[in-house]
Structure 1
Amino acid sequence: MRLSTLLLPLLSLLTPSLSEILENGQPRLVPYPGGATKLSQPLDTSEWRTYPASAREISYKGRWDDKYISWWSAPGVKFGFRGGNVAVGFGEETSEGVLVAYRVGGQQWRFANVTASATYQFITPETPGMDLLEANATRIFEMRVTNWSYGVQISSVSVDCKASGGALVQLRNKRKMVEIIGDSISAGMYNSYEGLSGWAWGFVEGLGDAEFSITAYPGICLHDQDCWGNPRGQTYQWQRVSDTSWRASQLYGTNPPKWNFKKQQPADLVVINIGTNDFNEANGVTTKQYFESYVKLIGDIHRVWPKAQIIIQSLWHGFHGEGDTFVQDHGFDDEIRRVVNKFRFVHLFNTTGILRHNDIAPQWHPTDVGQIKVASHLLEFVKAKFGWEYGQGDNGGAEVFPQTLYWNDEQNY
């Protein structure tokens, strides 16, 4: 049976549990390594230097609105700092208990739940990586929102000024810019760390020397119609600052502001994986509507970034049993090829054969390993197609997913 007939509705109101992360059906023993300290008292101005959210030293990654509220998948902040302590203040529009990932330089990601109208200290002299550079060196702090439905509002960033020269430092953007457009598969839905465990994350992190924005949200269609509670499709929503979440509807109603594309670097590469929800029979999108919507989206992208190359991924819809084996299901293959053939700057990344049937989890989305496979193959595709090398970023690049430490220490078996 085709997966599209089995797929459960991906309602935009669905939110994951904050209590645990499951790994192969079992609770992960240390679900949130690290943790940040919620400060109970205002920061002492004689010991801390506080910057407003608007400070030029703070670089916002992904889509943030004019109130410094984050949207879509894996948005974050990044800045250099001197000193031994860093604290971040969160505004009233921060989701209750949202899980954020943070790190120093290229160290392993650490995780913390934060909440609204509070200040958390993320960095101390004991934070892993802080002892690897000289005391007065500029270090890099990065924080990302893991979940696609939740978000944070930045109100301030503080660094201790007890150490000589304690301050924030503005960082240069990386040389390239990548835009990812998609739905739940690109947003990392049902993966261990969601946005930080999807193929989109693994791909752009693997490039190393590239900034990126992941404009993806579960349940959304390409065609502009209601799909699983998402009132609009990506042909409309991609040009808006916010996603289609419940919190966006509370702030913006049915008319979210347009995204100011000048806030981000012009994209050198756009990668699109969308159509899974369109293909589901419950949403009733026709092949004609899908094709015409894809052509419109490509045209809109090209008008915004006329020099960008665009990659369209073929869709995978799980597997079905056939005889004594499994066969991969597809969707809109002819329409996708017609779109690719229509534009000289659009390229097809054929995902056929990358995943095995057990790379699809019980919730009909790729497992963490399945997402890694797609990211790895796409990296090689981009390297062969455009000559992009990878793994050369300021954190060493490398295709690293959070907490995916799998190995076998037993040699006598």
Structure 2
Amino acid sequence: MLQFALLAAASASISYATILPASKPVTLSNINPFIAYHGRWDASPGTWWAGSGVKLNVQNLESLELNLGPHTTAPLASVGVSVNYGPYTTVNVSQGANIIPLDGSNSRGNSVVRITTEGWQDNRMQLDSIVLNKGAQVRPYTPSKLVFQVIGDSLSAGQYLDQGVLQAWPVLTSENYKAELRVNAQPGAALKDIPAWGNVHGVSYEYFRTEDTGYYYTTDHNYTTPWDFSHDQPPPTHVVIHIGANDASQNVTATDFEQTYLSFVTRLRTLYPIQPILVFTPWGWPAADGSISYYYPGSYEKIVDERHAIGDRNVFLVNTTGWVSWEDVFPANTHPTEAGHAKIAGLFETWLKTWGLHPESSWATKVAA
């Protein structure tokens, strides 16, 4: 992709003057090597998938203007802004200049700003430039040693939540673990590459593309491009998969689903040869009478067992049975509420600690007075 080629060239020409105090506002073009991109961006550069965005490490930060291009969702896209690892605050941005509030920044010290798209649709930012105050010094962002890659559907993308993915269990867990996070989760999409609930492709196809399945409805970008996984830096340390609900709703048989899942993991292993892969079982669809409907019972256990049988012992089953009840979901759609996602995150973190993975003691990019 052109953007990343330009970033590489820019990185080779960094000089100390880049981070010295400026006598006028500091303008960062979209190829500035100190902009830490996360998630998936096309060559424009524009975001795809919920949770994509940028991070900045700035000393003497007082103001930040985000200048966005015409491919930005109209009339607006909702992004979350976190300053110094504080809670995300929703800011609606649009094409042109957007002043980003910086509550919690330290104008005399070091500040970390994270700007992340919230929604699973209508979530495109096309970044032209970032303008900082006079005297701001931009420094490299150092990523955490822990990097979670989450693959899934609406149950991981935060559909129906006010802040979308930012209130969903993948973000809550990664924040508690002080980890970097990439989420590739598409509401309504099956794992099998079939049309489902408005998605023209399944996740087993779309995961390997830059764009999410919303590309089909975007008139200025109605095509897909292969994703270059070398852009995921650092690469994930842990891969988490929670998927299958939409395969079941499209009557994909258990045998077909298992074969699709095993083929998907085989392909993932070409990208992630040593990373632990954590396979979530369904927590199911709760009902008001206390019953819970599960899909593909026994299939996830079989998938893990088959990977073990060929010598891949680094695939683990995360049994989520009982994690979600009627009190944890929206009655209208049985998706987890904000409190439900917090409960799921807490239970997953307990599982991770029992398994042997503990949170980092601090973020890698420090916030200093």
Structure 2 length normalisation: TM-score?
A: 0.86
Pairing 1:108-147 to 2, within 5 Å after superposition:
108-116=87-95, 118-123=96-101, 127-130=102-105, 133=106, 135-147=107-119
Unmatched 5+ residue regions in structure 2? 1-21, 308-312
Please tell me whether residue 345 in structure 1 is matched to residue 344 in structure 2: no
Using the TM superposition, name which of 77-86 and 222-231 deviates more: 77-86
2:69 — aligned with what? 91
1:256 is aligned to 2:201: no
Q: Which amino acid aligns with 1:287?
A: A
Number of the residue aligned with 1:156: 129
* Matched letter for residue 184 of structure 1: S
Change (3 A) 1:305 1:187: same
How far the C-alpha of 1:396 sits from its partner, in A, is 9.2
Instruction: Show structure 1 runs of 5+ residues with no match.
Output: 1-44, 398-413
- The 8 Å contact of residues 179 and 214 in structure 1, kept in 2 or not, is answered as yes
When the two structures are superposed, what TM-score results if normalisation uses the length of structure 1? 0.77
Shift of 1:393: 2.3
1:95-129 deviation line (CA, Å, top 9, x unaligned): 1211111122023322211112x111214xxx422
* 1:77 and 2:77 matched: no
Q: 1:11-410 maps to which residues of 2 (within 5 A)? A: 47-83=24-60, 84-96=62-74, 97-116=76-95, 118-123=96-101, 127-130=102-105, 133=106, 135-149=107-121, 150-161=123-134, 163=135, 166-208=136-178, 210-246=179-215, 249-253=218-222, 255-264=223-232, 265-280=234-249, 283-320=250-287, 325-343=289-307, 344-361=313-330, 362-390=332-360, 392-393=362-363
Give the CA deviation at 1:261.
Answer: 0.6
Secondary structure of the residue that 2:100 maps to in structure 1? strand
Q: Is the 8 A contact 1:316 1:331 kept in 2?
A: no
Q: Secondary structure at the match of 1:393?
A: coil
Distance 2:362 2:32 in 1: 28
What amino acid does structure 2 have at the position aligned with 1:79? L
Separation in structure 1 between the aligned mates of residue 217 and residue 176 of structure 2, nearest angstrom: 31
Asked if structure 2 preserves the Cα contact closer than 8 Å seen for 1:242 and 1:248, the reply is no
Question: In the TM superposition, what whole-angstrom CA distance separates every residue of 1:227-251 from its partner, at most 9, and x where no partner exists?
Answer: 1111111111111011001566534
User: Equivalent residue of 1:195, what SS?
Assistant: helix
Contact 1:80 / 1:140 at 8 angstroms: preserved in 2? yes
Give the Å deviation of 1:266.
1.8
Aligned to 2:18: none
Q: What amino acid is aligned across from residue 113 of structure 2 in structure 1?
A: F
Q: What per-residue deviation string (whole Å, max 9, x for no partner) do you get for residues 310-368 of structure 1? A: 111111332246xxx51222111221111111222111111111222121212221111
Which portions of structure 1, spanning 4 or more consecutive aligned residues, are displaced by more than 6 angstroms? none
Task: Provide the secondary structure at the position in 1 that maps to 2:98.
Answer: strand
CA shift digits 1:199-258 (9 cap, x unpaired): 1111111211x21100011100001110111111111111101100156653443x4111
Q: Secondary structure at the match of 1:284?
A: coil
Separation of aligned partners in 1, 2:361 and 2:286: 33
What SS does the aligned partner of 1:326 have?
coil
Answer yes or no: is the 8 Å Cα contact 1:63–1:242 preserved in 2. Answer: yes
Alpha-carbon distance in structure 1 between the residues aligned to 2:173 and 2:301? 23
Pair 314,77 (structure 1): closer, same or farther in 2 beyond 3 Å: same
**CA apart distance, 1:390:** 4.7
Secondary structure of 2:51's aligned partner: strand
Secondary structure (helix, strand or coil) at the match of 2:219 reads: helix
Distance 2:364 2:29 in 1: 25
- Does the 8 A contact of 2:142 with 2:364 survive in 1? no
- Of all paired residues, the percent bearing the same amino acid is 24
In structure 2, what is the Cα distance between the partners aligned to 1:330 and 1:395? Answer: 42
Pair 363,151 (structure 1): closer, same or farther in 2 beyond 3 Å: same
CA deviation vs aligned residue, 1:280-321 (integer Å, no higher than 9, x gap)? 1xx221112111110011111111010110111111332246
Distance 1:391 1:356 in 2: 32
How many angstroms apart in 2 are the aligned matches of 1:276 and 1:227?
Answer: 11
Judge conservation of contact 1:103–1:142 (CA < 8 Å) in 2. Answer: yes
Matched residues in 2 for 1:196 and 1:396: separation?
22
Native 8 Å contact 1:206 1:391 kept in 2: no
Moved more, 107-116 or 235-244: 107-116
For 1:267 and 1:109, the matched residues in 2 are separated by: 23
Question: How many residues of Structure 1 are paired with residues of Structure 2 in the alignment?
Answer: 336
SS at 2:269 equivalent = helix
The secondary structure found in structure 2 opposite 1:333 is coil
Letter of the structure 2 residue corresponding to residue 51 of structure 1: L
The one-letter amino acid of 1:277's match is N
Q: 1:378 aligns to what SS in structure 2? A: helix
